[in-house]
Amino acid sequence: MARGISRSASTVLGAGISAAVLMSFVPSAGAISGTLGAIDGTVFFDRNGNGLIDRSTSGGEAGADKAEVRLYNANGDVVADAVADANGKFRFTDLRPGTYKLDGSQSGFISTTDAERKVEVRSSQTEFVRFGVRGGSISGLAWVDENGDGIRQDTEKAYADSRGFTLTGATDHYGKFTQRTAKVDDKGEYSFEDLPSGRYTVQTTGPDGSAATKSEAGPDATTDSDFTGKTGTVKSEKIQLAPGGGMVSLDAGFSRTTTTN
């Protein structure tokens, strides 16, 4: 069963796990009591989908904070739910030795590792697991359409002074309605990463006195504009992202004239 990345998680008392542990799953280095064992783990945003935490990936592959992981015993009964911390880490402690199953799948994301893992807990030992999930992404750029034809020419400069792009849409991994902002780089490019599936809208603001250039004016999606608006603030149409899906070249062209859609 897919577990959502959310703001809170239910806690279920089960044999071999304490109520105190169920109330907080912030990992800590401590002694394991008696003959009991523990499970430490991480849920991370696997942007390149290779199942590994790659620090060299653009922007780094961050932990999936607020991800939920469910623990089952050998009989298939739910023992407890854990919520990952800001680094995507979770912990189950005070577990009796035996076989357990963890469900690290996340609603709206694609699992890049096995979504379910069986773990053999041993006395006074801590077992380690990782769950990778890949979210969706939306990216594009802003440019100044000097001739107002709606097609980006090689000679037309990127709008590097853009005030940034704002994304609104589906519930994010904090359990809140998404509203994120992204700055542009010196090439006028922006990106939003690690998005759950759902519908989104992107908007931005152009140079003073500008308006959106002609929208979807050509057959090449990599050189036309996808935003509309009669003032400096323009927005895209709603975008439907599938789990792990991507939208590239969601570009905003601005005309210095009165040319609009």
Q: What angle do CA 77, 14, 92 make, to 5 degrees?
A: 95
Q: Which is nearest to 106 in space by CA: 88, 126, 120, 79?
A: 88
Between CA 58 and CA 150 the distance in angstroms is 30
Between CA 251 and CA 141 the distance in angstroms is 5
Residue-level pLDDT at 3: 62
Q: What angle do CA 216, 221, 224 make, to 5 degrees?
A: 45
**Cα 186–chain centre separation:** 24
- Per-residue pLDDT tens listing for the chain (261 residues): 566 664 333 333 333 333 333 333 334 444 455 689 999 999 999 999 999 998 765 567 899 999 999 999 999 999 999 999 999 999 999 999 999 999 999 999 999 999 999 999 999 999 999 999 999 999 999 999 999 999 999 999 998 877 899 999 976 655 666 789 999 998 999 999 999 999 999 999 888 878 899 999 989 999 999 999 877 689 999 999 999 999 999 999 998 755 444
Token pair belonging to 129: 């697991």
Contact 173, 64 (CB under 8 A): yes
Name residues whose C-beta falls within 8 Å of residue 124's C-beta, 6 or more positions apart in sequence.
32, 34, 35, 36, 37
Token pair belonging to 181: 């902002």
CA distances from 175 to 96, 100, 198, 249 (A): 32, 28, 13, 28
Contact 133, 65 (CB under 8 A): no
Domains and CATH numbers, the chain: 19-134 (2.60.40.10), 136-255 (2.60.40.10)
What ranges in 13-99 are assigned the alpha helix state H? 19-23
| pLDDT tens, residue by residue, 9-57 | 333 333 333 333 333 333 444 445 568 999 999 999 999 999 999 876 5
